[in-house]
Structure 1
Amino acid sequence: MTPPPTPADALPPEEPAAPADDAQPPQGPPAPDNECRTGGAGGNDNPAEGRVPPTHPHSKAGLNAHLVIDRTPTFRLDITLTATPGDVLALLGPNGAGKTTALRALAGLTPLTRGHLHLDGTDLHDTPPEHRPVGVVFQDYLLFPHLTALDNVAFGPRCRGATKSEARAQAQDWLHRMGLKEHTTTKPRRLSGGQAQRVALARALATHPRLLLLDEPLAALDARTRLEVRAQLRRHLAEFEAVAVLVTHDPLDAMVLADRLVVIEHGRIVQEGTPADIARHPRTDYIAQLVGLNLYKGQADGHTVRLDAGPAITTTEDLTGQVFVAFPPSAVTLHRDRPTGSSARNLWHCEVAGLETHGDQIRADLTGELPLAADLTTVAAAELDLHPGAPVWATVKATQTHAYPA
């Protein structure tokens, strides 16, 4: 697997030292004998043999995995992931849902309790991590601090049997692709966050992995750098010809970077689909919060949905049976007195539970007849004299709701 593919708890006990010109590359985690298998010292022209499982014909190309892992006596991860070459799959979910466990299982760092893991038709279940055609970019990048950007990227090809000159030539090419040709001799401590992220990505891609794993790859960046690097990462992923799996807590990262989202809660997949479909049809409170919607479940009879816990909501859709109803906080209009002459079909008496800044607006958390979130301008909040405990009336037009089968 593309080095260094291990989180902190799987790293070797000591940092690797920078190699001399005639030395073997630094030790790469986590080979069983703790060595980077290059077939000999730096001048060896013979590639390492048997390091990567054979790739089967592309009729079976892509990822086909059923991951079952008993992490604790009370937690089991049980998910199925499939993707074809060129797909970018994003795993989303709250803390403790099992996203990182899934990523570690794909990398070979956490063994399966049962299930299977096939990549390009090859069974990787019993393949050690360092032998898998898998590249990993971790949240803190794990760049070797004593190596230059060039030698960090060259490390992977050296471990796959390339000569020193071949590995450095490949690394030079990848750094140029990443827009880092001026930083080949720079060490990690002198790289910006965005530059370090691109070096880590180049190192992961340098061995041409058939599966690329990205664990919160933008989390360590500030807001301005994140915007720029996200755009660059999207371009690089669009050019990647194999499968990429992204773990993130940021819905915007997932929406921008991924072709398909897989939402995991309590070790199970609760929803999957395109970003647009999930954003329009959330099926759990967690997803609704991610995409910024008020979400309710109830029984539909025509244009009226009687909520499981709460009042009725009038919608434009004509449905029957169990449905979800969603609408954005921006669709909610607040009044201090009960409105008269309003065209809104939905009216609820509520109380302000809390206020917080949300972008350039104020988000009001409301309780009462219908718990909901409402967005309004700072001026409107001041004019309404909103504060915790203030009584308000909330209205939502039927045309601003969206109902769909549960």
Structure 2
Amino acid sequence: MSTSTLAVSDFPAVSALDARLRVERPAFTLDLALTAEPGEVVALLGPNGAGKSTALRALAGLLPLTGGHLSLDGRLLEAPARRLRAPAEERPVGVVFQDYLLFPHLSALDNVAFGPRCQGRPRREARAEAHAWLERLGLAEHASVRPGRLSGGQAQRVALARALAVRPRLLLLDEPLAALDARTRLDVRAELRRHLAEFEAVAVLVTHDPLDAMVLADRLVVIEEGREVQSGSPSEIARRPRTDYIARLVGLNLYQGVADGPHVTLPDGTVLATTEDLTGPAFVAFPPSAVTLYRERPRTSARNLWPAEVTGLDLHGDQVRADLTGPLPMAADLTAAAVADLRLTPGTEVWASVKATQTHAYPA
């Protein structure tokens, strides 16, 4: 069988996910509406314990719904109210787990062929199809190698090939890059993005890494405590975060108050000057790089100026991130030279300023 016969573009582009995932547990309830169009990659993003893995297991059929429904390609797979539930093995779903879960006693080829064989395809046909997938993912020369002798990046690609070999209408990826080192992660992320761009069914990615989500997904769904708190394109989420968790995730200082023209008053009475003209509940956000620190009160044109105290200093990429407390708690990014010049240490009292032009205000 030639590689061309397995092209993802040959799959019928009719897949669509329509789900209301409700899973009730004694101390936690997931209640999440999730839809996706054919060819769309949706990332579920959220803190530990938010319900991301619960949602993924429910989609895969590994965890039963207690309410709601799950429909794929117009076929109802699960509806507790109607006592309908298709078992996991009968769902057109492929899963790439965080730790890959490859069969250690099987070669890479036989790992990939396992799914087609379970679907009833003859051994020769399943192995030919598996070889084509390995070739496509650059692993043909490792076909006879068992998982224990593969690198992390190679094992991840075998796991992806195994998931794709069953021709899923829903591809689930559970922290697919978490086990990789930084260099391998960079390479595999780029490769995974290319394959997802070609995938014409629905893909759902679970991750806690904002960069993975921003690079791999078309749409982000952020969940906290089992509920959606924000959804949108990566650029929309990054520009207009609506919770502290999202703001930290995308590297912004975020505040919520009431706007009156170009001023937003926070609950404690602190006023932030912005350039937007709004009325009513509003958010104000600005990056840590917009914060300038001084040891003495400066003469500055910046309309936002507050006293602050340094509570922590940490390396953040090639910058030093200073955590500040005061009338307006915030994070500030500085160069190592600036930290030395200002003689900053935890407990140092400073003045923090932010120009109105470097803030972004939007309706809450």
Partner SS, residue 124 of structure 1? strand
Distance 2:259 2:37 in 1: 38
1:107 aligns with 2:66: no
Q: Which residue of 2 aligns with 1:13?
A: none
More strand by percentage: 2
* One-letter identity of the residue aligned with 1:65: A
Report the equivalent of 1:286. Answer: 245
Equivalent in 13, 18, 22 of residue 68 of structure 1: 22
Indicate the structure (1 or 2) with the bigger Cα radius of gyration: 1
If each structure's helix is expressed as a fraction of its own residues, which one has the higher value?
2
| Equivalent position of 1:370 in the other structure | 328
Query: Cα distance, 1:311 vs. partner?
Result: 1.0
Query: Take 1:309 and 1:274, find their aligned partners in 2: how far apart are those partners?
Result: 32
CA distance in 1, matches of 2:216, 2:292: 33
SS in 1 for 2:62: coil
Query: Which residues in structure 2 correspond to 1:238-257 (within 5 Å)?
Result: 238-257=197-216
Identical pairs, percent = 73
**Helix, strand or coil for the counterpart of 1:386?**
coil
Aligned residue number for residue 393 of structure 1: 351
Instruction: In structure 2, give the amino acid aligned to 1:96.
Output: G
Post-superposition CA distance 1:219-254 (Å, at most 9, x none): 000000000000000000011110000000000000
The residue type equivalent to 2:355 in the other structure is K
Asked if 1:297 corresponds to 2:251, the answer is no
Which sections of structure 1, spanning at least 5 residues, go unmatched? 1-54
Residues 1:128 and 2:81 aligned together: no
**How many pairs does the alignment contain?**
348
Q: Given that residues 13 and 38 in structure 2 are in contact (C-alpha distance below 8 angstroms), is that contact kept between their aligned partners in structure 1?
A: no
SS in 1 for 2:34: strand
Q: Is the 8 A contact 1:62 1:84 kept in 2?
A: yes
Write the letter of the residue equivalent to 2:309: E
Quote the Cα distance in structure 2 between the aligned partners of 1:234 and 1:156.
23
The SS at the match of 1:91 is strand
Residue 146 in structure 1 maps to residue 70 in structure 2: no
What is the match of residue 357 of structure 1? 315
Residue 207 of structure 1 pairs with residue 160 of structure 2: no
Partner of 2:5: none
Find the residue that maps to 1:337 and give its secondary structure: coil
Q: Give structure 2 stretches of 5+ with no counterpart.
A: 1-10, 79-84
Please list the CA deviations of residues 66-101 of structure 1 after superposition, one character each: whole Å capped at 9, or x if unmatched. 0011022x3211010000110000000111110000
The letter of the residue matching 1:239 is: E
Show the counterpart of 2:341. 383
SS of the residue corresponding to residue 86 of structure 1 reads coil
3-state SS, counterpart of residue 321 of structure 2: strand
Q: Which residue type is aligned with residue 52 of structure 2?
A: K
RMSD: 1.2
Query: What is the CA deviation profile of residues 231-280 of structure 1, one whole-angstrom value per residue up to 9, with x for unaligned ones?
Result: 00000001111000000000000000000000000110000000000000
Give TM-score scaled by structure 2 length: 0.94
Contact kept in structure 2, 1:310 and 1:370, CA below 8 Å: no
Normalising by structure 1, report the TM-score: 0.85
Counterpart in the other structure of 1:29: none
Partner of 1:116: 69
Change (3 A) 1:122 1:335: same
Aligned position for 2:120: 161
Match of 1:313 in 2: 272
Partner of 2:220: 261
- Find out whether 1:77 has 2:36 as its counterpart: no
- Cα deviation 1:26-68 (Å, max 9, x = unaligned): xxxxxxxxxxxxxxxxxxxxxxxxxxxxx9993xx40000001
1:145–1:187 CA contact under 8 A, matched in 2: yes
